[in-house]
Amino acid sequence: MIITGGASSGFLVYSYLLTDPNDAILIPSPYYTMIVHHISVFTENQSVRCSLLEQDTGKFYFSVEIFEREYNEALANGLRSRMIIFINLHNPLGDVYDEMMIQPVLEFAAKKQLHVVIDEIYSLSLFANEKQFESVLNFSIVDSERTHFLWSFSKDFTLSGAHVGVMYVGTSELCSVASEFNFLLTPSRHIQAILTSLLADRTWLRSYIELNRL
C-alpha cells in the first residue's frame, strides 16, 4: 500500500512502473480525458480506446470482448499491449461494474499477461437505492501480481485540494520500486495527519457515508 498525491499521481506512477515507450494501454471509452495525460507524462505510451458503445442497441456495455477486440487490433498494428485501466464506478457514465462483469476481464488480462489498474475513486458515492458496489480488493483475483488498485479522497470526500490517494500494488517488489518513484509525489505529513484523524472518527465517518448516499 502506497500513499500518493491523489489519483493523478497514482496513474502517473502506474504507467511509469508498468509500461515502456510505445506500449499500448487499453481504456474503455468514453473515459475521463485527463487519464491519457496522466499516463503519458513520463512514458510515451499509446492509449487505445475500447468503445463501450454497442452499435446495434445504442447502449453502453462493459465486457471482455471490447478488450479482446482492441488488443488484437493493436497487435495487428504492431503495438504491444501492457495494461488495462478502468474506473469503477465509471466516469462519465456512472455505471457500476460487479465481479461477474470484471472477472472475465481479469482472466483475459492474466492470459495475456496484462496489468490491470482499477480506479475506485467513486466507490462511496452511490445512491442508497443503487446497485451495491463491490471492490476488486474483495474479489478472488486470478492474477494478484498484475491486479492493482487506486483510490483518492477527491471525489468521495470532495477533497480534491488535499491531493491524497492510495495505491495497492500487486507485489512487494513492484511496491518497493513504486515507493522510490513516488517519493516526490507523497503528500505532506500535515495533510496525512489531518485525514488520518478524520478517518479515525468512525461515528462521523459512518454518518458522512450514509448522508453522502442520500
CA–CA distance from 72 to each of 19, 21, 78, 109 (Å)?
18, 19, 10, 13
Q: Could you give the 3-state DSSP secondary structure of residue 4? A: strand
Listed residue (96, 142, 149, 143) closest to 118, CA to CA: 149
pLDDT digits (tens, 9 = 90+) for 96-146: 999 999 999 999 999 999 999 999 999 999 988 888 899 999 999 999 999
Q: Is 207 helix (H, G, I), strand (E, B) or coil?
A: helix
Task: Domains for the chain: give ranges and CATH numbers.
Answer: 2-188 (3.40.640.10)
Is the pLDDT score of 214 beyond 90?
Answer: no
Cis? peptide before 187, omega within 30° of 0: no
Q: Mean pLDDT across the stretch 174-197?
A: 94
Q: Residue 199 has what pLDDT?
A: 96
CA distance 99 to 157: 25
What are the pLDDT digits (tens) for 65-85?
999 999 999 999 999 999 999
Which one, of 136, 152, 146, 143, lies nearest residue 116 by Cα? 146
Which pLDDT does position 189 carry in this prediction? Answer: 94
Residue 23 has pLDDT above 90, yes or no: yes
Could you give the percent of the chain with pLDDT greater than 90? 91
How high is the pLDDT of residue 209? 94
What pLDDT sits at residue 44? 86
Contact 116, 88 (CB under 8 A): no
pLDDT digits (tens, 9 = 90+) for 133-154: 999 999 999 999 999 999 999 9
48-58 average pLDDT score: 93
Confidence (pLDDT) at 22 = 92
> Do 156 and 121 meet the contact criterion of CB atoms below 8 Å apart?
yes
What is the structure's pLDDT at 56?
87
* CB contact at 8 A, 37 and 12: no
Average pLDDT, the chain: 95
Q: Region 17-24: what's the mean pLDDT?
A: 94
